[in-house]
Amino acid sequence: MNEEMETICFQIISYAGDAKSCYMEAIQEAKQNNFEQAGLRIQEGDKSFAQGHHVHAELIRRECSGESVPVGLVLIHAEDQMMSAEMTKMMAEEWIDWYRNQEEERV
């Protein structure tokens, strides 16, 4: 794997990590009944995830146009981190809904 490809992979990993952190922060905000802040953290995470997705989509575009894209453990890890971020978002949204429902039932 060349240096450019490593840089691209680490960009994806970084964006996915930022997104996951935001989604986890959203859960913590919801846990404290800060639902507006939770929503903002989800939006922030979505922006990071979209940046990572954009970088990943560029790799797919390259390969579809005939360019050879080397596959190595770092790329596999980057893709795994993207999938993990996506799952974290889905779970965060479920937890936010659950905390919101709990708060509404208390009132």
Binding residues for Mg(2+): 80
Q: Which of 53, 54, 56, 77 is catalytic?
A: 77
Torsion of CA 22, 88, 52, 28, to 10 degrees: 0
Q: Which two tokens stand for residue 92?
A: 């965060």
77 among known catalytic residues: yes
CA distance 52 to 76: 14
Q: Cα separations (Å) of 15 from 37, 44, 74, 86, 107?
A: 20, 11, 14, 12, 38
CA distance 51 to 44: 11
Q: Which two tokens stand for residue 2?
A: 């060349």
Which residues does the annotation place in the binding site? 80
Residues recognised as catalytic: 77
